[in-house]
Amino acid sequence: MKKRLILFSFIFIGTTFLEAQAQFVSNGIMSVRSTGLLSVKNDFIKAGNGVILNDGLINITGNWINNSSGAAFNVVSAGSVVLSGNNQVVSGLSVTRFPGLTLTGTGVKTLAINTDVNVGLDLTDRELKLEDKTLTILTGRADAVKTTTGFVSTNIGGKFQRLTNLTDNYLFPLGSNEGGTLRLSNLIVSPKDNTDNIYGVTFINRNPSNDGYATTQKRFDVNTVNDKYYYVLDHVSGNTPADFTLFYNAVNDGSFNQIVSWLKPLIGWEKAGISNSQTIPGNNGFDASLTFSSLKSFTNIPVTFAGTLTNNDPFTFFNTFTPNGDGKNDRWEIKNIDLFPDNELIILNRWGAEVFNIKNYNNSKAWDGSGLSSGTYYYLLKVNVNGEPKVYKGFIALLKNE
């Protein structure tokens, strides 16, 4: 049987080095000062109601297990926990809020419970496997996540979340070994203001068709949809617009010029706004990126890369809407019109009489057919697309329960 060092009350680690060879159980109050080092050569178990004030370094070669009733660490802790063993697991009965968390050693580090990091995460060259768990970085510092070749891997239900409160670039180093093939695919979120937001991302390293997002079901001018992997993006809290930059390897993944998002089963893969491409020099595994802008909050939207036909347009015009007050399809929205505010929309009835006219049309004030009967109407949209004036015409079927 393994011996245990059990701490019933207060332990202070100041300028000293303390090493525990056996399983270490803390069920009281513990303080590791900025000059202190606690090295545990086995599992670290947090029990009881006391908290750990860690301003120094706690090095663990076994597993971390939080069986206390709280987040384990005092919220003002500024130190770090280093997982330096082989194939370590973070688990327990309660969510742990680590101050800083650093991954070294060998093997894969796995979260068996949702986990927070309050100060910063350094992946170094390790994989942090979430599976269906959530990892949240709670500091708004853009440099709070560091890596050399390390990455966070997820599966359906898992999510890597970051708090943002700066107009800066927030890195999400992503990857997966699913199927025995290592694939890296970083993502950067660049918020447009300094208010608090939380953005989350899931990276799924398999064909989206396997999960119900058929790559053959797509917008008319989308030629090919990436069948190797996809992301699920989530704007968890806040309402700040942001740019999303997705990195890929064109040699291994294919040549793309558009980011697409999955709207509905009947619509499929749709353009996620205008995508701006960039070639990336260097040998970091990525040689290209695409960026798209989101102007409003969203919830768990699948996105991936696509190749589109030449001379394509960013808009999708739906030819039917049903303003019945049921909250479904009550307004006539134009996909991506919010990205091009220099526009004018005119709606005509079948006799050519104007029934609706508006400049700077966007989906927050979309046409609801108020005061009109069911029937066929015609639209004329004049819009400036990246400096080029364009005109779009078509018909709309307005359907009411009359």
Q: Is the pLDDT of residue 175 over 90?
A: yes
Spatial contact of 188 and 171, defined as CB atoms under 8 Å apart: yes
The 8-class DSSP code of residue 265 comes to T
Identity of the amino acid at 111: L
Q: Which of 230, 226, 218 is nearest to 176 (CA)?
A: 230
Q: What per-residue confidence (pLDDT) applies to 6? A: 45
Query: β-strand 159-164 against 134-137: which pairing, if any?
Result: parallel
Q: Give the pLDDT confidence of 23-78 residue by residue, as tens digits.
A: 888 887 888 998 889 999 999 999 988 899 999 999 999 999 999 999 999 999 99
Provide the pLDDT for residue 319.
76
Given a cut of 70, whether residue 105 has pLDDT beyond it is yes
Q: Do 278 and 371 fall within a single domain?
A: no
Which two tokens mark 326? Answer: 């049921």
**What burial class does residue 8 get, using C-beta atoms within 10 Å of its C-beta: 0-12 exposed, 13-18 middle, 19+ buried?**
exposed
Mean pLDDT of the chain: 89
The predicted structure's pLDDT at residue 8: 38
Q: Indicate whether 276 and 353 sit together in one domain.
A: no
Return d(Cα 377, Cα 354) in angstroms, integer.
Answer: 10
How far apart are the C-alpha atoms of 337 and 355, rounded to whole Å?
Answer: 20
Residue 119 confidence (pLDDT) above 80 = yes
Q: Are 131 and 222 within one domain? A: yes
- Domain count within the chain: 2
The C-alpha atoms of residue 313 and residue 258 are separated, in whole angstroms, by 11
Confidence at residue 282, expressed as pLDDT on a 0 to 100 scale = 54
CA 258 to mean position of chain CA atoms? 18
- Whether residues 196 and 341 share a domain: the answer is no
If asked whether residues 369 and 271 sit together in one domain, one would say no
In this structure, the answer to whether residues 219 and 350 fall within a common structural domain is no
- Between 9 and 74, the more confident residue is 74
- pLDDT, tens only, 278-302: 776 655 678 899 998 886 778 999 9
CB 295 within 8 A of CB 286: no
Report the distance separating Cα 335 and Cα 329, nearest Å.
13
Does 248 share its domain with 211?
yes
Kindly state the percentage of the chain with pLDDT values over 90. Answer: 59
Do 321 and 349 touch, CB atoms closer than 8 A?
Answer: no
CA 270 to chain centre: 19
Asked if 332 and 354 sit in the same domain, the reply is: yes
Q: Which residues contact 390 (CB under 8 A, 6 or more apart)?
A: 313, 382, 383, 384
Pair 242, 320 in one domain: no
C-alpha dist (Å) from residue 94 to 47, 88, 109, 112, 113: 10, 17, 18, 11, 8
User: What phi and psi values does residue 139 have, to the nearest 5 degrees?
Assistant: -100, 145
Say which DSSP state 235 is in: E
Residue 322, domain CATH: 2.60.40
Q: Where are the beta strands (DSSP E) in 165-300?
A: 170-172, 175-176, 183-184, 187-191, 197-204, 222-225, 230-237, 242-248, 258-262, 269-271, 276-279, 288-294
| Residue whose C-alpha is closest to residue 290's, from 259, 254, 314 | 259
Burial bucket for residue 331 (CB in 10 Å: 0-12, 13-18, 19+): middle
Q: Are residues 201 and 341 in the same domain?
A: no
Q: Are residues 147 and 258 in the same domain?
A: yes
Residue 22 has pLDDT above 90, yes or no: no
Q: What is the pLDDT of residue 271?
A: 85
Tell me: do 301 and 340 sit in the same domain: no
Q: 280 is in which domain, residue-wise?
A: 4-308
Going by pLDDT thresholds of 50, 70 and 90, the confidence category of residue 316 is: confident
Last residue of a domain, one of 278, 308, 338: 308
Please name every residue paired with 334 in a beta bridge, in sequence order, or none if there are none: 317
* Per-residue CA distances from 167 to 85, 137, 296 (Å): 37, 17, 16
Q: What is the pLDDT of residues 250-261, one digit of tens each?
A: 888 888 999 999
pLDDT bracket for residue 1 (50, 70, 90): very low
Burial class (CB in 10 A: 0-12, 13-18, 19+), 15: exposed
